[in-house]
Every structure is written in structure tokens, then in C-alpha cells.
Chain A
Amino acid sequence: MAGPWVLVGGALAGACIAGALRRWSAISALWAAAVSLALATLSWRTVRLPGFAVEMAQPAYLWGTSLALSSLIQALLGLVFTAVTFSVLGTLGRSPDRDIPTLSLAASGLWAAALMSQDLMVTALILAVIAAPVAVLLRPTKPGHPGAAVRYLLITALAAMALLLVPAFINQAPLNPQDPTPQLIAGALLGLGWALLTGLMPFHTWLLLTGSEARPVPASLVLGTAPLLSMGLGLTWLERYPWLLTVAPRLPDWLVWIGLATAAASGVLAAVTPDLGRLWGYASLIDLSALVMALGVALASGTQGAWMVLGGGMAARVVSHAAIGWALIESRGRFRTRPWAAGLLALGFLSLIGYPPALGFFARQPLYQVQTGPGVAFLFLAGTGVIVGLIRMLIATTPSQRLSSGEADEIRRLPLLTVVGLALLLIPGLVWRMAGPLVAALLRQGVRGA
């Protein structure tokens, strides 16, 4: 059973070491070798195909709310966090772009409508319309091909096509357990649409280009919210079409495996990527991988746990992306002379990949407390790849020229900004930990009372 994994580990090691020796530093090669060796060792010792023993160990994390209320909370969280993130970045980052608030709020409203919609065709059409303001938000800072925006338009168009075709197959015939072909095709189309919208590999290239091309504020907005809201859409479909889990009973296992594969690949690529924007994209993919794994784990005991996982992920993800975008604006690429910005950037990345003491670590508690075998270890390894890449980036930044008086003022302001950034990262996590059980108990009492 472990043989194929050793082969995979060896192949990964060979490919990454070759890539690292050709263009990048020795530390990347060491990281690639380490992750491959760890993959092989872990699979040798603990991985038992075909899947993981998935069960929620802490039902206290679930809110005792109805599914409709959970959907509403999810949509409102998206709106609130998008608005708060914009306000913080727009005020402190002094964004001169007047189009960002209008477009981001329009996109948020449309996303909420898509989440609330009970008709798949309406959802698909709304998603197709959302693509336009999001693409405008992703406009690059320099002339040339707006690769991220055009790819996002294409990806959304393909997803809308897949989703529009689904009702034709669902309505073709009622579910027949002996021959569920129409439902299987519909499920495959739903899964394809979901993977396209969420940005899972191999449909992730727009995520990477977003970090490299787009302005930091809209990049952090889109990276922080769009993939996660797509995940919420996937959950609403699972609730609306319960036969999905009947025709694909191994779906939770598949999600765990997809998350693991994406995390491992992203970690290795993050360690050897030569671009800070792409590193941001890979860190985002690792966060997505953790959420996909968590969804798989939570789905084993129903969609309510999965909604809870997404709620926690939403807070951590949006705030982490906001911190990274903010640090990029403040540093303007000169991290050596602006250590506070570098520190905030590192903290944002730590939160995104789920390392303590940042918010992302707290948001992943439900995932860490379940029996996922080596899955969590894989995530930590993948996160280490991002850290290796980040250290290389920060070391490689060139020293700045003599600072102007305005820039010196900005540097004096940075400690204050960093304290606010730390609070943004840490306080929601602490509040979440302390108030979560209280809110859950209150909601349960309210539901029972009703």
C-alpha cells in the first residue's frame, strides 16, 4: 500500500530538486526533499486507503441553528467581512480608487443573492453577471494582458455553462438506484462548476495571477471572499440535492483527498516560486485545501458542521488576506527598510496557512480535533513551504533608496498600523474562542424555545 506513495514522494523530490537547482536556492531544494520524504514516511506509517476515519469529535462546535438560518449567517458574514475589510483598507491604506467600494459591494450583494437563490439557473446567471465587476476589480496595475481578469471571466463562463446544464439531467428521470446515470452526470457537472468557481487545481491559475497582477486592495477582497463563497454555494447544493450523497457516498473522502493533493502541490510550488504575488496565491490555495478537507470531514456528519467550518474560515481568510494586502501597500516592495510591514506580511501568511498564533490557527480548530490521520501533518508541511518561500522573498527584496519625508512619515505610522493589524488578526480569534460556545448555547435555547 505504501509503495505508490514512496514513488510519488520520490518523483516529487526529483522534480522539485531539479527545478530548484536550475533556478532557485538550495533551501528550496532542501524543502522539496523534506516534504517528499515526509510524504513517503507518513504514507508508509499511517495512511490507510481508501479513506480517513472521518467523524466530528466535538459536536459542541456546531451551532444549533436550522439550515436556512445557517445559510443566512453565511451570506451575512460574507457581506459584513467584505464591508469591514474594505473600510479598513480604504481608510488606512488611502486607496485612491473610487471604483473599489461600488464594485465590491455590488459583487457582495450579487453573491448573497446567489447564495439565497433556490433556483440553479438563477444562481448560474447571477454568477455569470458577478464575473464582470470582479474582472474589473482584478484590473492589473501595469499595461499588458490582464491575465487574472480574463481567466476569471473564462472560468466563470465555463462554470455557468456546467451549472445551466444540470437541471436538464436532474429533470430527465427520477433517481433510480439501479441506474443513476442522469444524477451522476448532474452531480459531475455540479462538482465541475464548484471546482471551477472555488479555484481548485487545475483551475487555480487566476488565483496566482491575481496576487501578481491586481492591486493589493481588490486582490485581497477577491482572494478572501470569492472562493469561500463558492464553497458555500457547494454546501447549499448538497442540502438542496440530498441524492448527491446517495449517488456519491464517498464524496467526503474525495474532498479530503483533493484537499491533501492540492495542499501538497501548493506547498512544494510555494517553496520554489520566484514571485511574491504567486506565493500569496499558493498560500491561499493551502487555506482552500484545509477548508476542502474540513468540509469533507464535516460532511461525514451532516452539512451543519460544514457550515460552521466555513464560518470560521470566512473570518480568518478575509482578515488574513486584508493583512497581506495592507502590508504590500505599506511596504511598496521594500521590506528591508520597513520591518513592520514585513512582520505584518509574515503574520498574514501565518494566519492564511493556519500556524499559531494567528487567527487562521483558531479557525481550523474543528479540523485539528478530528481524526484525519496525516492530513493535518500534510497541511503543516505545505504551510512550511510557504514560509520557506516567504523568507526567500523577504531576503531577496532590494534595499530602498534614500527615503523622502513623506515616506518617513509613513514609516513612523507603521507601528500603529501594525498594532491595529495584530488586533485584527488576533481579537476575532479570541472572541471566536470565548464567545462561540456562549452564542451556540443561546441559539440552541432560542431554537428550543421557538
Chain B
Amino acid sequence: MLGLKTWPTELLIAIVLLGAVGMPLWGGWRGRLMALLLQYLGVGFLLDTLLSPEVGLAHILAGGLAGVVLYLGARRCQTDQIVTRLLMPGTAFDLAFRAVAVTIVALVVWTGHRLAPWPWLPAPMGLVVYSLAGASLLTLGLAPPTIEAGIALLALWNAFELAYARLASGPAWLGLISLIGLPWALAISYLAYPPAGRLEEGD
């Protein structure tokens, strides 16, 4: 109906993989949020290919809303200025460290994809699932600020949705699973905002 099936699958997979690699590689919440939106876009189109346009559209809309919520939350609290980080983002050493970490995780992902493919998914989509899961776990492992941890959490949920697409009882279930990201994005935005001074006195 939306004509999304005419898109080449290889292009969609490339979009998601770009988002997966970019998430741990790009420092700062803006880069990671862009990577997450790329992932949502690519996974939405892939869901359209696997199931139906409605499911894909619902996924992209839910991702867009979650992205807006996270953007507003991050703009309000400016986490980069509050939380000091060990690796000093933006420096060459930080980028080199991330590049090495991404390479190692990519090797693990490729090995996992070859040794344990997902039986109910086409092989390239199995690789996408592994890549998204590896990238999100790596980002979480880098102990990022709250907003970026939330972005990684949503990326992990993205990977699960793609893996679960063929197992769900119906498209309505997948739509509901996509919507779970919204309350999580709201909670993360709330948590990222520094608490008021009165709370430091106890309760």
C-alpha cells in the first residue's frame, strides 16, 4: 500500500547497519539519537518487507515520537555539560577507543551470525538483529549519560522487534510492542533532568 516493498532490501539493511555502527561510534546524544532514528527507519521498512506496511508504519511513527521525546528531554537538561566522562568525548583517543571496541563487537556479531543464525529470519536480517543488539549493548557498556543509555535501550528493543516479527501472533501485537518505547522514552527524559535541590534533604 505504501509502496515500501519496492525498496531494495540491501539498501534498508545498509541503513540499519549504518545506524548500528554509528551508535557507539558517534559521541554525544545528538549523534546517537540520529543513529537511533536511522535504525527505526530501516527496521520499519524491513518490517514492511517481512509482514505488512501497517506494522512498518506504526514502528516508524512510534520511533519518531520516542525520538522527539528524547530530543526534548536532552535539550532541556543538556546532559553533556552535567556528566563528566572518563574518555573526554571528541578527542582522538576517545574516537580510537570506540573504533577498536566497534571492531571487536563486529567480529563477535559476525561470528555469532555464522554460528547461530535465526531460523525464522532471512540470513541478512539475522545479521541486522545481531548488529543492533551488539551495538546497543556496547553503547550501554560504555556507561553513557542517561539519555544515551535510553537511546541504547530503545535500540536493543528495536533488535528484539525485528527478531520477533515472524513469531508474533499478529500485527496488532507488534504494534503494541513498538509502542512500549514511548513510556520508556518519557521515563528516560524525566530521569535525565537533574533533581531539584529540595530532594537532597531526604524526603
Contacts and interface: CB of A to CB of B under 8 A. Distances in A.
Whether chains A and B associate is yes
A52 to B, nearest CB: 37
Most chain A beta carbons < 10 A, residue from B173, B177, B186: B177
A154 interface: yes
A135 to B, nearest CB: 5
B187 interface: yes
Contacts of A164: 160, 164, 177
Nearest to A134: B187
Interface string B69-85: 00000000000001100
A143 B187 contact: no
B10 interface: no
Contacts of A160: 180
Nearest to A128: B180
B191 interface: yes
A132 B190 CA distance: 10
Nearest to A325: B203
A146 interface: yes
Interface in B133-189: 140, 143, 145-146, 149-150, 153, 156-157, 160, 164, 167, 169, 173, 176-177, 180, 183-184, 186-188
A38 interface: no
Given A125-B177, A136-B190, A144-B83, A329 B202 contact: yes
Interface stretch (A90-98, A272-280, A282-290): A90-98
A150 B147 CA distance: 10
B184 A131 contact: yes
A271 B77 CA distance: 38
Contacts of B167: 165, 168
Interface string A91-130: 0011111000000000000000000000001000100110
B104 interface: no
Interface in A138-178: 139-146, 149-150, 153-154, 157, 160-161, 164-165, 167-168
Contacts of B184: 128, 131-132, 153, 157
Interface residues of B, number: 34
Contacts of B198: 96
A215 interface: yes
Contacts of B153: 150, 153-154, 157
Contact of A153 (B173, B188, B201): B188
B74 to A, nearest CB: 15
B3 interface: no
Contact of B195 (A143, A168, A332): A143
A352 interface: no
B199 interface: yes
A216 interface: yes
A328 B202 contact: yes
A6 interface: no
Interface string A354-385: 00000000000000000000000000000000
B5 to A, nearest CB: 25
A121 B169 CA distance: 10
A212 to B, nearest CB: 14
A94 B203 CA distance: 8
Given A125-B177, A153-B184, A165 B164 contact: yes
Contacts of A145: 83, 143, 145-146, 149
Contacts of A149: 187, 191
B199 A129 contact: no
B199 A141 contact: yes
Nearest to A330: B202
A133 B187 CA distance: 7
A32 interface: no
Contact of A167 (B146, B169, B183, B188): B169
Contacts of A136: 187, 190-191
Contacts of A39: none
B194 interface: yes
A337 B184 CA distance: 42
B179 to A, nearest CB: 9
Interface string A67-98: 00000000000000000000000000111110
A94 B198 CA distance: 13
Contacts of B200: 141-142
B203 A95 contact: yes
Nearest to B167: A168
Given A95-B203, A328-B202, A329-B202, A132 B186 contact: yes
Given A144-B83, A161-B160, A332 B190 contact: no
A93 B82 CA distance: 31
B156 A157 contact: yes
A217 interface: yes
Contacts of A143: 82, 194-195
B146 A150 contact: yes
Contacts of B140: 154
Contacts of A121: 169, 173
A133 B184 CA distance: 9
Contact of A132 (B83, B183, B194): B183
Contacts of A125: 176-177, 180
11 contacts: A95-B203, A125-B180, A131-B187, A136-B187, A136-B190, A141-B199, A143-B82, A153-B187, A164-B160, A164-B177, A215-B203
Interface of B: 82-83, 140, 143, 145-146, 149-150, 153, 156-157, 160, 164, 167, 169, 173, 176-177, 180, 183-184, 186-188, 190-191, 194-195, 198-203
Given A96-B198, A131-B183, 4 more contacts: A141-B200, A145-B149, A154-B153, A215-B199
Interface of A: 93-97, 121, 125, 128-129, 131-133, 135-136, 139-146, 149-150, 153-154, 157, 160-161, 164-165, 167-168, 215-217, 328-329, 332
- A-B CB proximity, top 10 nearest: A132-B183, A143-B194, A132-B187, A168-B167, A135-B187, A146-B191, A128-B180, A95-B203, A161-B160, A150-B149
